[in-house]
Amino acid sequence: MQIIDELMESFLKELNYEPIMQMFSHTNSGKKLRSKLLLSIAGENELSYKLCAVIELIHLASLLHDDIIDESELRRGAKSVNAKFGAKNALMLGDILYSKAFYELSLMDSKIAAVLSNAVVNLSIGELMDIHLSLDFNADKNTYLRMIYNKTAVLIEASARCGAILAGFDEEAFKEYGKNLGLAFQMIDDILDIRGDEHTLGKPAMHDFKEGKVTLAYIYLYESLNDEEQLKLKKLFKKDLNIDELEWLKLKLTQNQALQKAANEAKKYGNLALEAIKHYENPKLNEIIKAMLDRNF
């Protein structure tokens, strides 16, 4: 992944403004799932590496904006850019990353540019949906699925589809793979927020619920509770939970197998992803699904 990091850095150095590089040096683009996916489909070459760098700039920009909206102090265990440099600087860095990514994208094949541009529109809609859903307790699974599709899965879906375009493979098959991988990925992420620990997650456990995110396990829990318990769960929504409240929530999640149901749902989407590309017999893509389902951070 070092080549991709170097390309991202070179794109930004072309802008010739040191504060950009200073803030960029404090970012962490993570495991680069989208790049690994694209390279596993299209192979390693100059064009695919450049496209990966563009996708990672887009993804990083979305994370910067996400941290501003959530007022997050941490990103992967380190101080977030908005916490270190202020929300205004973080916002502008995100805008610069988006803009530079789109400029580089404009130099590439128009079909690839259209696929990724459309994904970014939907990604932004997903972020807006997430904000609106945080206002009240959402117990509707389909609404949750629609939001995570837009906020997370669309860029993974687009990465897989672009890889297929570069390789001359069936776009629809790989689009379906990427979509289902993206849905499963976010479901696992949401589960880890509940069962993980602060050291591993780089943020407090069960942080999402406090921030107004009713993820799949909480939806399944709500469905399994009686009226009185449902009311109690809603009262805990977006609250700083004390020890007794945390213990009650953890107990109910365990008793009602809500986490297991959410994990089973993620596995279902992982299997749908594999089914979509079974004719290609690509071990790397199988491994991506396995690693995603088995991860602990």
Would you say domain 109-297 falls under CATH 1.10.600.10?
yes
Q: Which one-letter amino acid corresponds to residue 119? A: A
Residue linked to tokens 């849905």: 183
pLDDT at 200: 61
Q: Hey, CA dihedral for 157, 185, 132, 65, is it positive or negative?
A: negative
Q: Per residue of the chain (297 residues), what is the pLDDT tens digit? A: 899 999 999 999 999 999 999 999 999 878 899 999 999 999 999 999 999 999 999 999 999 999 999 999 988 888 999 999 999 999 999 999 999 999 999 999 999 999 999 999 999 999 999 999 999 999 999 999 999 999 999 999 999 999 999 999 999 999 999 999 999 999 999 999 998 776 665 667 788 999 999 999 999 999 999 999 999 999 999 999 999 999 999 999 999 999 999 999 999 999 999 999 999 999 999 999 999 888 765
Q: Which one-letter amino acid corresponds to residue 148? A: I
Question: Which run of H or E residues covers position 91?
Answer: helix 87-106
Cβ-contact 4, 32 below 8 angstroms:
yes
Residue 206: closest CA among 219, 220, 194: 194
Domain with CATH 1.10.600.10 in the chain: 1-108, 109-297
Give the whole-angstrom CA distance, residue 207 versus residue 164.
37
Residues 162, 166, 172, 175, Cα dihedral to 10°: -30
For residue 13, how many C-alpha atoms fall within 13 Å in the half-sphere facing its CB? Answer: 7
DSSP 8-state code for residue 27 = -
Give the whole-angstrom CA distance, residue 151 versus residue 95.
17
CATH of span 1-108: 1.10.600.10
Residue 238: closest CA among 203, 267, 213: 213
pLDDT at 218: 98
pTM for this entry: 0.95
DSSP 8-state code for residue 31 = T
Residue linked to tokens 């993804």: 59
